[in-house]
Structure 1
Amino acid sequence: MVLRRYIAGAVAARTGDEMSGPALLVAGLAVTGSPVLASWLLSGLTVSAAVGGPLLGVLIDRARRPGRLLAYCLAGYAAGLLLVLAGLGRAPDAALIALAVATGLLGPALTGGWTAQLPLVARPERLGRATALDSMSYNAAGLAGPALVGVVAAAGGNAAVLPMCAVLLLSALPAAWTLPIRPAQEGPPAAEHPQTPEAAHRDPVVGDRDPRPRAGTAPVRGLVREVREGFTVIVGNGALRRATVGSMVSCAGLPMLVVSAPVMGVRLAGESGYGTLLLAVAAVCGLAANGVLAAHEHRVRRWDLVQAGGTAVLGVGMAVAALADAFWIAVVAAAVAGAGEGPQLTALFAVRHREAPDRLRGQVFTTGASLKITSFALGSALAGPLAAYATGAALAVGAALQAAAVVTLLPRRTSPTTRPNVHEPPRRRP
């Protein structure tokens, strides 16, 4: 019951989040007629996530009731969008952009911050399936969010898209508010409840120190230290580092497909709207692949290999799209890409759940989300000029980035002098 409520809230919150970017573009352009302002509002909403993620992670990890903090973030994000709408055509452009930046600071709470609470609602033996279902909420939101914006805008409701966004975000408030209380951090770390057998063999980056600030520590100094602890555990843990860097490289290549899709629609079918259909096919196939993975997650032993395999399939789909000379080939390519992207995300979450220390879980997820958003933004800046030159070139670059990500994700063999592999039980010495 609690898990179902969590998934329902996640779908609503993430659909509102996926709607927010296109909704800002549509509303800003409709009210002011300025594509420059509309694009700057979108940039402001996304770029600040790089700063907001680590800070939100610290606050979420500190909170005994993390769901309450997530609820406040949902309300703040919705309020920020509505304030931007109210100021369009009335307030100075600089003030609206600053407001979009401030609103974007809360964005990682709707993605990584929410996913970090999954162990509170799923028993350890069901965490793998719950992770797959949680990943499906991203696929469903990625499919429904832009589609809702398109339907409402096509019906002449350009000014209504942002309020609809806010309604979806606020509808997730009850699910966030009623998330279970985090167990008190008492006793040695060994007493904490690991989510998988591998959790006992994490890298000793944080050690036995409690990263939370002691009484009397200056708040700012404690905050900086905890942010540093979050980055330290990502960099120092081999599995987390590979998963994070690989996801960043892959995410930098993903805009090559997103930006090229409308151009391919025009080139292969004569209408840019067919490009949206390609993205919808990818989202549906990602959702279906995650559904299959959720049904068989108990058979998965190496989530890091699943992430690498999903990234490879995504790259194959982009390579096929680069060579497509007919629309049906582009549809097949989008389906292959989606079938890889869905399990890739599920595996990334599974690795984070397995490797992240309980006391730093929120930071690992929100920091990871921030890094992915930043990588996507950088990839988008490159994808535009490449797609304008040739969609084949853009998609080929995207496929090459996926190949580079696969190389990054493949586990390294550990020598006999290093610690045991986190994916296998330690061998006893004779």
Structure 2
Amino acid sequence: MLTQTSVKSESHAGPQKGVLIRYLQVALLVRLASEGARIALVVLAVDRTRSTGFGGALIAALLVPSVVAAPLAGAVADRVRRRRLFHASCLVFYGTGLGAVAMLVGRVSAPVVLAVAGTAGCCTPLLTGGLTSLLSDLLPHKALSRAFSLDAVSYNLAGIAGPALASALATSTSPARALLVLGAGAATGGLLVFALPLSPRAAKTHALRPADMRAAAALLFRDPPLRSLTWASGVAQLGIGALPVVCVLLAARYQTPWAVGGLMTAMALGSLTGSLAYAWRPWGSRRPEWTVIAMLLATGAALASVPCVDNVAAAAGGFALAGCCTGPLFAALLTGRDRYAPTTARTQVFTLGASIKSTFAAGGAALAGGWQSAGSDSLVFAVAGCQVAAAVLGALLLKGRQANADCPPSETNMGY
């Protein structure tokens, strides 16, 4: 006979599952659009203007403003009263911006097109960290570890399927139509936000002040778990950002052209596998910061094995194994941000953290580009060393960790 507690648990499981499914529909649609747009923009620029340089400028216009706008976007999201309207409007605006770029490239002046792309790019933080920060308002605390793991899966799926979808659409129809479809997908995801049970905030908060933004940023330096998660993941991205350059050198070393994209695909598939495994059985969720540290060490060890092999298949295995470690790492990172961020600054912590990671990744790509003469083996060891250094830094930054850090978010955040 079922107990009253088990019946109550089962009755709650259904609605929770439905909410998570609706959330994942939103996340997949907008993140597919974001990842696919990077390919569609370049193909569109070449098709309309015969300039790959303009394609690169369009990508930069879409991505760079997201780094600058992340603190403000997160701060506004933490204070706006009608959250569904705000998030839905931003996602629809992003999708509409992609559609506008598809119509304008090659037909109006380049500065106008770049301005449109840059304006749409200001909404990018709400496609990533901004959306993820909503999970703690949509689901109970006990369901969050699995939810963050599935959210990490949405990032992985978008990273794999987005560029493939954009390429397929551009080839079968046209680059402009491909970008229009991606924009329509993002706008549809924005409209689906209205199906999420996000109630308006009960009380109107004070107007956004510069001090609020400084206080949220200070958490990433002052709070031991948050600073460990933030800066360890940032240093790790310094290496991960260099991997596309590394893959080019490895493809030349093995004389295997497909390895340029194949090695990154192997890592992405490994990350997807790791995320799914972690979603099935989350572990280390009580102290996600230590899970991140452990997975950084494991990622470094897997990548360090690549220079020791003499064929591309074994190298792909090393990349896939590294990806299997980054899946749980990312899920634990999201769990930790949610757990240790105060409610009043949760979205800002997510968007700032994502911005810092993007900045480090860009720096890593730039450094690798200038260090190509060192050779593929040296670069791979450098990337692996970044993961180990990030793990050590993360452990050192945990010094002074609060005694109440293992409490549920509702209790932990009372101290801020």
TM-score tier after normalising by the smaller chain length: 0.7 to 0.9
Residue identity opposite 1:111 in structure 2: T
Correspondence 1:230 to 2:247: no
Correspondence 1:357 to 2:342: yes
Following superposition of structure 1 onto structure 2, how do residues 13-412 of structure 1 map, counting pairs within 5 Å?
A: 13-155=30-172, 157-182=174-199, 184=201, 212-213=205-206, 222-271=208-257, 273-297=258-282, 300-387=285-372, 390-410=375-395
Give the superposition deviation at 1:347: 0.8
Contact (CA 8 Å) 1:31, 1:159: kept in 2 or not?
A: no
Residue identity opposite 1:288 in structure 2: T
Contact (CA 8 Å) 1:7, 1:137: kept in 2 or not?
A: yes
Match of 2:9 in 1: none
SS in 2 for 1:410: helix
For each residue in 1:349-368, what CA deviation from the matched residue of structure 2 results, as whole angstroms up to 9, or x when unmatched?
01111101111111111111
SS in 2 for 1:36: helix
For each residue in 1:131-163, what CA deviation from the matched residue of structure 2 results, as whole angstroms up to 9, or x when unmatched?
111111111111111222233345463333311
For each residue in 1:368-405, what CA deviation from the matched residue of structure 2 results, as whole angstroms up to 9, or x when unmatched?
11121222222222222334763323322211211211
Contact (CA 8 Å) 1:313, 1:339: kept in 2 or not?
A: no
Identify the structure with the greater helix proportion. Answer: 2
Question: In 2, Cα distance between the equivalents of 1:152 and 1:254?
Answer: 29
Q: What's the TM-score once normalised by structure 2's chain length?
A: 0.87
Question: In 1, Cα distance between the equivalents of 2:97 and 2:373?
Answer: 33
Contact (CA 8 Å) 1:256, 1:397: kept in 2 or not?
A: no
Give the superposition deviation at 1:75: 1.3
Give the superposition deviation at 1:115: 0.2
Residue identity opposite 2:347 in structure 1: G
Contact (CA 8 Å) 1:85, 1:162: kept in 2 or not?
A: yes
Question: In 2, Cα distance between the equivalents of 1:228 and 1:413?
Answer: 21
> Residues 158 and 183 (structure 1 numbering): CA distance in 2 closer, same or farther, change over 3 Å?
closer
Moved more, 170-179 or 3-12: 170-179
Residue identity opposite 2:383 in structure 1: G
Give the superposition deviation at 1:236: 1.6
> Residues 165 and 384 (structure 1 numbering): CA distance in 2 closer, same or farther, change over 3 Å?
farther
RMSD, matched Cα: 2.4
> Residues 148 and 389 (structure 1 numbering): CA distance in 2 closer, same or farther, change over 3 Å?
farther
Contact (CA 8 Å) 1:309, 1:340: kept in 2 or not?
A: no
Contact (CA 8 Å) 1:139, 1:287: kept in 2 or not?
A: yes
> Residues 237 and 37 (structure 1 numbering): CA distance in 2 closer, same or farther, change over 3 Å?
same
Residue identity opposite 1:312 in structure 2: L
Q: Which runs of 5+ in 1 are unaligned?
A: 187-209, 214-218
Question: In 1, Cα distance between the equivalents of 2:402 and 2:358?
Answer: 32
Q: What's the TM-score once normalised by structure 1's chain length?
A: 0.84
Question: In 2, Cα distance between the equivalents of 1:245 and 1:92?
Answer: 40
Question: In 1, Cα distance between the equivalents of 2:147 and 2:65?
Answer: 29
Question: In 2, Cα distance between the equivalents of 1:156 and 1:285?
Answer: 31
Residue identity opposite 2:65 in structure 1: S
Moved more, 312-321 or 7-16: 312-321
Match of 1:189 in 2: none
Contact (CA 8 Å) 1:49, 1:373: kept in 2 or not?
A: no
- Percent identical pairs in the alignment equals 30
Give the superposition deviation at 1:16: 1.0
Question: In 2, Cα distance between the equivalents of 1:109 and 1:296?
Answer: 28
Match of 1:423 in 2: 406
Contact (CA 8 Å) 1:257, 1:318: kept in 2 or not?
A: no
Question: In 2, Cα distance between the equivalents of 1:97 and 1:388?
Answer: 34
> Residues 155 and 396 (structure 1 numbering): CA distance in 2 closer, same or farther, change over 3 Å?
farther
Q: Which runs of 5+ in 2 are unaligned?
A: 1-17, 412-416
Residue identity opposite 1:67 in structure 2: R
Give the superposition deviation at 1:411: 5.8
